[in-house]
Amino acid sequence: MDRVSTAEARTEPGWRRLLCGTPREVLARLVQDDPLGVREKVGARLRDDALLLDADRVHLRALARIARFGNRYRGRPELQPWVESAVAEAAEELLREEHEAARARPSPGSDRPSVFSSLAPPLGLEPSAMRAACAAFNALPCAERSAFVDLVLRGRSLDELAHASGASASEVARRARRALDVLLAAALPDSGAEGER
Amino acid sequence: MTRGVDWIAALDELGLVHRKEQAALLRDAASLVCATSRRGRPFVAGAARARWRQACLEAITVAEADRVDVEPLLRNLAADPVARWPAASRLARASLALDRCVAGSVALARAWICENETRAAIELLCELAAGPPHAPDRCDVLEALALALESAGALDESLDAYASALRIPGCAPRVAVSMFALALRRGDAAWIDFASARLLDLDLSIPGVRTRFQVALARAVERAVVSI
C-alpha cells in the first residue's frame, strides 16, 4: 500500500500522492495511520460544537468524503483547513441523517442503540430513546448545547462557565436547563417536559 | 491501521457517499426540469446545466472506478438535453430511492408544484413542516410550502409560511423577495413591512446583490401572473 507519513502528507508532494487515484485507493491510504489527522479533528469538532454525535461514524464519513472528493483538491485552501471543512460537512450530513431517523420515529425497540445510551440511566430515560433525544439536542443553539455539555457531562462549575462565556451564572444555568428539557421532551414525547420551559 | 477503523465499514461508507452524491445530482436534475416551468425558476441558479453535466460525468466515472452501482437514469441524463429528461417528479423519486431525506422530499414536492399537483405537494410539505422547529432544511420546507400554497391560491396561508421561513436564521433573501411581492399583491401592510424589514440589510449598490434581487423579484412577479 502507498504509505504517506503524517508529516509528509502536510507538504504538497505528500498530499498529491495521498489524494491521487480512485476514491477507494485514497481511502485505503487514509485508514493507514490516519495521515491527515482526521480523528483528532473529529474530536475537536464535536467538542467545540458540543454535539452528541458518534465520533466513530463522523470519522468514517469524513474519511469517505475526503476519499471521494480529494481529487478536487488543488492545494487551496491549505490542506488542514480543507480537511477540517470535510469533517464539518461529515458532521452536518450525519446531523441531518440523525434528525431524519428521529423524525421517522421507529417503533420502540426497533431502533439501534445510540452511542450515548449510557447517558440514559442518569437522566431516567430508556437507552432506546437516546437517539431521538440526541437528535433534538443537536438541533439546539450552540450556547445551550455547550452549557449542558460543560455543566453536566464535563462537570465544570457554573462560576467557571459564566466567567468563560461572559454570561451570568443564572443565564448559563437556564441554557443548560433548556437543553435538558429538550432532551427529556424528545425522549419522553408525551411527558410535556418541553412545556415546562 | 488507524485505531478502530474497519476497512469493510469504511468501504460501505464510501459506497454511501457515492449514493448520496448520485441522489443529490438527481435532485438537482429535478430542479433543472422544474426551471423550465415558471413556478420552478426560483430554485435554480443560472448556467447550472453545464456544471451539472460535468459533475454528473465525474460522479459516474469515479463510481464505476470504485465498482459502485450507478443509477441508470443518471447515464441517460448526462447524454440527453433537458428537454428530453423525464418528469421532475420521476427524478425526485429516483433520488429518494437512493437517499431518503428531507431534501429529497422537498425536491419531490417542488416537482409536484411545477406539475400542477399542488394538493399532493401541500400534504407532503405540511407533514415535513410539522416536525421539530429546529429541524435542518426547515427553511427549504417552508419556502416550498409557501410556494405551493401561493400556487393553490391560498395566499394568506402562503404569507404565513413565508413568514415562518423568514424567522429562521440564515433564510435566503429570495424568500423575503417572494413574500414581499405576494404581500404587495395582497395589499397587506403588516406583511409588506415584515418582508421589507428582512430586505433592509441588502446592499443594492453591489452589482451582484442588485442583480440577484432583481431576478428574484422578476420571478416572484412572473409567478404571480401565472397563479392569479
Q: Measure in Å the smallest separation between the Cα of A37 and chain B Cα atoms.
A: 10
| Mean pLDDT on A96-110 | 71
Say what the pLDDT of residue A3 is: 44
- Rounded Cα distance, A134 and A184, in Å: 10
A164-181 core/surface letters (b: 16 or more CB in 10 A; e: else):
ebebeeeebbebbbbbbb
Say what the pLDDT of residue A75 is: 87
Question: What burial class does residue B203 get, using C-beta atoms within 10 Å of its C-beta: 0-12 exposed, 13-18 middle, 19+ buried?
Answer: exposed
- Rounded Cα distance, A86 and A42, in Å: 10
Confidence check: pLDDT of A106 > 60: no
- Rounded Cα distance, B196 and B188, in Å: 12
Confidence check: pLDDT of A111 > 70: no
Q: Which residue of B has its CA nearest to A59?
A: B5
Question: What burial class does residue A55 get, using C-beta atoms within 10 Å of its C-beta: 0-12 exposed, 13-18 middle, 19+ buried?
Answer: middle
Q: What value does the mean pLDDT of chain B take?
A: 86
Of how many residues is chain A composed? 197
pLDDT, one tens digit per residue, over B58-77 is: 999 999 999 999 999 999 99
Identify which of A25, A66, A16 has the alpha carbon closest to the alpha carbon of residue B67: A25
Say what the pLDDT of residue A129 is: 81
Q: Which residue has the higher pLDDT, A144 or A191?
A: A144
- Rounded Cα distance, A193 and A91, in Å: 28
Confidence check: pLDDT of A2 > 60: no
Q: Measure in Å the smallest separation between the Cα of A134 and chain B Cα atoms.
A: 13
Q: Is the pTM of this model over 0.80?
A: yes
Instruction: Return the C-alpha cell found at A8.
Output: 509528509
pLDDT, one tens digit per residue, over A50-90 is: 999 999 999 999 999 999 999 999 888 899 999 999 999 99
Whose grid coordinates read 435538558?
A: A180
Dihedral sign (CA A172, A137, A91, A141): negative
Q: Which residues of B touch A (CB under 8 A)?
A: 1-5, 7, 9-11, 13-14, 16-18, 20-21, 62, 65-67, 100-102, 131-132, 134-137
Say what the pLDDT of residue B2 is: 54
Say what the pLDDT of residue A112 is: 59
| Mean pLDDT on B17-29 | 97
Say what the pLDDT of residue A180 is: 92
Q: Do A23 and B7 touch (CB under 8 A)?
A: no
One-letter amino acid at B189 equals: A
Q: Do B1 and A33 touch (CB under 8 A)?
A: yes
Confidence of residue A188 (pLDDT cuts 50, 70, 90): confident
Confidence check: pLDDT of A43 > 90: yes
Q: Do B14 and A95 touch (CB under 8 A)?
A: no
Contact A161, A172 (CB under 8 A): yes
- Rounded Cα distance, A94 and B27, in Å: 19
Is the backbone of residue B116 left (phi > 0), alpha (psi -120 to 50) or beta? left
Q: Which residue has the higher pLDDT, B25 or A109?
A: B25
Contact B21, B98 (CB under 8 A): no
Confidence check: pLDDT of A113 > 50: yes
Say what the pLDDT of residue B228 is: 42
Q: What value does the mean pLDDT of chain A take?
A: 85
